[in-house]
Amino acid sequence: MLLEPSTPVLLPHGLFDEDGRCHRQGELRPLTGREEWALAQAGERPGPRAVSELLAACLGRLGDYPRVDAELAACLTRGDRHHLALHLRARMYGDRVTLVARCPAPGCEAMADVEVRLSALSPERVDDAPEVLAVALPEGRAEVREPTGEDDALLAEARGTRAERAALLWSRLVVVDGQALSPSTWLSLPSRSRHAVALTLAEGSSAPDLGLLARCPKCSAWLELELDPFALLARELRGGAARLETEVHVLAYHYHWSEGDILALPRTRRWRYLELLRNELEGRPLVDGWS
Ligand SMILES: [Zn+2]
């Protein structure tokens, strides 16, 4: 098979191994038809485990790790996973995206277009991020780490109220004086201490800032929205799912390739074969200068 080249991608945070070494330099392969189809079927908001499967399929090596499976992809920070999703999206559909949001002002409800450049949301970060962030609390020295895909997966499957689930997440992210916390120990900390930890993480995070602000074109009210890169990619792929089916049909019909073989191709390869096929069927030269 003619392989598409991988693109290098530098993760904002990276994966720390047991020796404390950070692995940030990854290789991103384009999505194949199989991953396009899987993500298109993954619903409005693809779950953390579906995201890990997707990243495992398109991440080549990462630092000294020769390959990335779903388990390793789950260990990446939420921010690194979002960074990768933004790269995947930019590679398939370009760097610019127009989001549409409804104005929240009472009686207005105008629709506003919000233009975003994905590369500006997640610029390349040259300096290494620390593995954990430290903050001195009256209760002791706290260390907080960024949430990972695994945290998000456990959170998605956890029961309880929003507050209980938040406490579960913080109990996983924070240690005080080297001691792990339970959700109830986290909640028993004074709110000033919990706030200090949350602020340390918010300010020290290497994750892309996906909060967007725009003005309503009608009443000039501020609109706030949060970009979910995987939901964006899934929505766009869902819009192209019927076309993907048609591509499989046309290539299978003319080349007699199997569905699996065709879905193993990234979009650029499928589109190239469709272009050659069209030239052939229309009696045009397949390659410029040939007849
Ligand atoms: Zn408005």
Distance 261 CA to ligand 1 centre (A): 49
Q: Quick one: which of 85, 126, 112 has its CA closest to 210?
A: 85
pLDDT for position 283: 87
Whether 238 shows a pLDDT value over 60: the answer reads yes
Q: In this structure, what token pair is assigned to residue 93? A: 């559909």
Provide the CA 45 distance to its chain's centre, in angstroms.
11
Distance 97 CA to ligand 1 centre (A): 21
pLDDT digits (tens, 9 = 90+) for 14-34: 999 999 999 999 999 999 999
Distance 224 CA to ligand 1 centre (A): 12
Instruction: Give percent of the chain above pLDDT 70.
Output: 98
Distance 217 CA to ligand 1 centre (A): 7
Distance 218 CA to ligand 1 centre (A): 5
Distance 94 CA to ligand 1 centre (A): 29
Whole-number mean pLDDT of the chain? Answer: 93
Distance 222 CA to ligand 1 centre (A): 8
pLDDT mean over 185-205: 97
Query: Which neighbouring-strand residues pair with 114?
Result: 99
Q: Which residues, 6 or more positions from 44, have their beta carbon under 8 angstroms from its beta carbon?
A: 231, 234, 235
Whether 5 shows a pLDDT value over 90: the answer reads no
pLDDT for position 146: 97
Whether 291 shows a pLDDT value over 60: the answer reads no
pLDDT digits (tens, 9 = 90+) for 132-175: 999 999 999 999 999 999 999 999 999 999 999 999 999 999 99
User: Cα separation of 84 and 92, whole Å?
Assistant: 12
pLDDT digits (tens, 9 = 90+) for 198-215: 999 999 999 999 999 989
pLDDT for position 253: 97
Whether 265 shows a pLDDT value over 70: the answer reads yes
pLDDT digits (tens, 9 = 90+) for 52-110: 999 999 998 999 999 999 999 999 999 999 999 999 999 999 999 999 999 999 999 89
Distance 221 CA to ligand 1 centre (A): 5
| Alpha carbon separation from 163 to 19, 62, 275 (Å, rounded) | 35, 35, 54
How many Å is the Cα radius of gyration of the chain?
23
Q: How confident is the model at residue 287 (pLDDT cuts 50, 70, 90)?
A: confident
Instruction: Give percent of the chain above pLDDT 90.
Output: 84
- On whether the CB atoms of residues 108 and 216 are closer than 8 A, the answer is yes
Q: In this structure, what token pair is assigned to residue 58? A: 């398109």
Q: Are strands 7-16 and 22-28 parallel, antiparallel or unpaired?
A: antiparallel
- On whether the CB atoms of residues 8 and 26 are closer than 8 A, the answer is yes
What angle is formed at CA 240 by the lines to CA 102 and CA 95, rounded to 5 degrees? 65
pLDDT for position 290: 60
